[in-house]
């Protein structure tokens, strides 16, 4: 599975005084997309961490097209760009319920050993789920 979509409403606390989503919250929206992408593969992010694998973000790019506002139903589309190695790369698009593109984004994360904090190869069980 290289694509996942998840929808949720913008909460009041995620907005500024103008009712517009504060730009820093978009990183959390992308995280929701990634976690749900993994869940769609049958992989729990929590279990992965309990098994000693962490995935820190090493690069984040956001391109804002239009503002999300309080109570918007937004959809985060998460797409895997290629089979991961030590790094895993995602593209994202965030839409409002009218189908308007709000944000295009890209992240790069690194598979790391939780104990040593050293980069590692993507675990075989993830690769198997991606290929099978």
At 46 the pLDDT is 93
E-assigned strands of 1-132? 3-9, 53-54, 57-64, 73-80, 87-95, 101-110, 112-113
- As for how many domains the chain has, the answer is 1
Cα distance between residue 72 and residue 15, in whole Å: 11
Kindly give the confidence (pLDDT) of every residue in the chain, 132 residues in length, as a single tens digit, with 9 standing for 90 and above. 589 999 999 999 999 999 999 999 999 999 999 999 999 999 999 999 999 999 999 999 999 999 999 999 999 999 998 999 999 999 999 999 999 999 999 999 999 999 999 999 999 999 998 887
pTM, entire model = 0.94
User: Residue 126 sits in a domain of what CATH number?
Assistant: 3.10.129.10
State the DSSP code for 69: B
Q: Which domain holds residue 56?
A: 3-131
State the catalytic residues: 16
Closest CA relative to residue 69, chosen from 20, 24, 28, 103: 20
């Amino acid at each position: 599975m290289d694509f996942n979509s998840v929808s949720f409403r913008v909460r009041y606390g995620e907005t500024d005084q103008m009712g517009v989503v504060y730009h820093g919250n978009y990183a959390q929206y992308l995280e929701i997309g990634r976690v749900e992408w993994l869940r769609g593969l049958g992989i729990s992010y929590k279990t992965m961490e309990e098994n000693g694998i962490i995935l820190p973000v090493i690069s984040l790019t956001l391109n804002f097209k239009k503002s999300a506002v309080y109570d918007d139903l937004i959809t985060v589309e998460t797409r895997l760009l290629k089979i991961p190695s030590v790094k895993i790369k995602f593209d994202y698009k965030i839409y409002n319920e009218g189908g308007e593109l709000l944000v295009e984004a890209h992240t790069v994360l690194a598979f790391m050993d939780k104990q040593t904090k050293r980069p590692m190869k993507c675990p075989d069980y993830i690769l198997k789920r991606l290929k099978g």
